[in-house]
């Protein structure tokens, strides 16, 4: 039989790939909770962690001075110092009670005047108590006439790029890309399998790669704006700057989204229940959350673990993002990370196409 021509004024049948992408887009924006988790939750994370680790002035050192003839000399020396001290004079028992309760960092007892003698009572297990001991001793030694042979100058480092928030934002970008790729692709695919939607697709003249590529491509349509919104918010709210080429940063975002979408498809290729895919996704994500340096440097882990950690896709992505955003690295400088991410992307997608089943 001859296939009839489409009616006049009606467009020819569109490619299955674009029809699937359009269906995924419609499914997304019809779910308000999905919009929150994609766009609202990453911004909420930046606000929460950025506020918790914001730049704060140095806290005053709380010092309790035992009452006695030399107490006024100690108080005068500390109040004349350029450093910030909260000084209180009390009896010996009350001073130790304050130290025990954490209400002060150090207790100072003054002795003879010539030469001046001081006794420091502090808790060596508390870092702030040890720091208070050294700071107070430095001030009182200078007040007693000590002269340092070397001339030093202090310069506080507060430039953008060296703060914790500048370190944190690339980690949150990588974490969002991983979560969006694994849950947004893997979990959604298994959900369609459970609802028998994949079985219906099987009855259509559509190839398996068309479906899988459409799922990945539709995810990219959501992830790229999400990353741009997150970067813009971090810039406006916390002054986070991108020192590298924005085009290179965009390429890393796209590659990271594709990589984790491929891993998500591979995880979901044969899972038949939501419980199964949830367990598999958590099994994949949790080690990378802990090891890949989202909130602190992955170099803190033992050297024996570093070869494995450096090959994890989230570690590769976060290291590349931080190099571009903080150090201004070029695409050539992050070539190793880009190459390994491309390998992860290609291998996982190829295995997903091979092992994927509709039912």
pLDDT digits (tens, 9 = 90+) for 191-235: 778 887 777 777 777 777 777 777 777 777 777 777 888 888 888
* 42 and 69 assigned to the same domain: no
Tokens of 198: 């994949």
Return all residues near 337 (Cβ < 8 A) that are at least 6 apart: 316, 317, 319, 320, 323
Q: What is the pLDDT of residues 256-279, one digit of tens each?
A: 988 998 898 888 888 878 788 888
Domain of residue 72 covers: 61-143
Spatial distance between the Cα atoms of 354 and 186, rounded to a whole number of angstroms: 16
pTM (2 d.p.):
0.65
Question: What does DSSP assign to residue 181?
Answer: H
Range among 162-171, 195-204, 232-241, 342-351 with highest mean pLDDT value = 342-351
- In the structure, what pLDDT confidence band is assigned to residue 24 with cuts at 50, 70 and 90? low
State the CATH number of the domain containing residue 84: 3.40.190.10
Q: What is the pLDDT of residue 198?
A: 76
* Distance from C-alpha of 191 to C-alpha of 206, rounded to nearest angstrom: 20
Domain match, 320 and 185 both = yes
Total domain count for the chain?
2
Higher-confidence residue of 59 and 319: namely: 319
Span 95-135, pLDDT tens digits: 888 888 788 888 988 876 777 888 898 888 888 888 888 88
For residues 268 and 210, state if they share a domain.
yes
The verdict on 138 and 169 lying in the same domain is: no
């Amino acid at each position: 039989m001859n296939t009839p021509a489409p009616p006049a004024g009606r467009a020819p049948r569109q490619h299955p790939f674009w029809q699937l992408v359009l269906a995924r887009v419609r499914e997304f924006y019809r779910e308000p909770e999905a919009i929150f988790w994609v766009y609202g939750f990453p911004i909420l994370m930046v606000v929460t962690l950025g506020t918790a680790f914001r730049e704060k002035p140095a806290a005053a050192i709380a010092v309790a001075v035992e009452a006695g003839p030399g107490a006024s000399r100690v108080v005068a020396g500390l109040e004349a110092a350029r450093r910030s001290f909260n000084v209180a004079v009390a009896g010996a028992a009350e001073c130790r009670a304050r130290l025990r309760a954490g209400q002060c960092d150090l207790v100072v007892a003054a002795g003879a005047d010539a030469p001046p003698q001081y006794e420091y009572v502090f808790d060596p297990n508390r870092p702030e108590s040890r720091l208070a001991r050294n700071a107070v001793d430095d001030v009182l030694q200078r007040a007693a006439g000590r002269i340092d042979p070397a001339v030093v100058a202090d310069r506080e480092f507060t430039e953008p790029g060296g703060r914790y928030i500048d370190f944190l934002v690339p980690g949150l970008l990588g974490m969002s890309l991983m979560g969006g790729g694994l849950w947004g692709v893997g979990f959604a695919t298994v959900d369609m399998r459970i609802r028998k939607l994949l079985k219906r697709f099987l009855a259509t003249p559509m190839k398996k790669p068309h479906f899988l590529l459409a799922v990945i491509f539709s995810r990219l349509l959501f992830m790229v704006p999400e990353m741009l919104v997150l970067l813009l918010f971090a810039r406006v709210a916390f002054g986070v700057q991108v020192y590298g080429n924005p085009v290179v940063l965009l390429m890393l975002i796209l590659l990271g989204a594709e990589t984790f979408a491929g891993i998500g498809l591979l995880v979901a290729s044969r899972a038949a229940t939501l419980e199964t895919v949830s367990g598999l996704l958590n099994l994949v994500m949790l080690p990378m959350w802990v090891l890949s340096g989202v909130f602190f440097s992955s170099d803190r882990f033992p050297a024996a673990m570093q070869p494995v950690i450096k090959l994890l896709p989230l570690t590769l992505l976060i290291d590349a993002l931080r190099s571009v955003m903080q150090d201004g690295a070029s695409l050539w400088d992050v070539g190793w990370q880009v190459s390994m991410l491309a390998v992860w992307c290609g291998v996982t997608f190829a295995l997903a196409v091979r092992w994927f089943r509709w039912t």
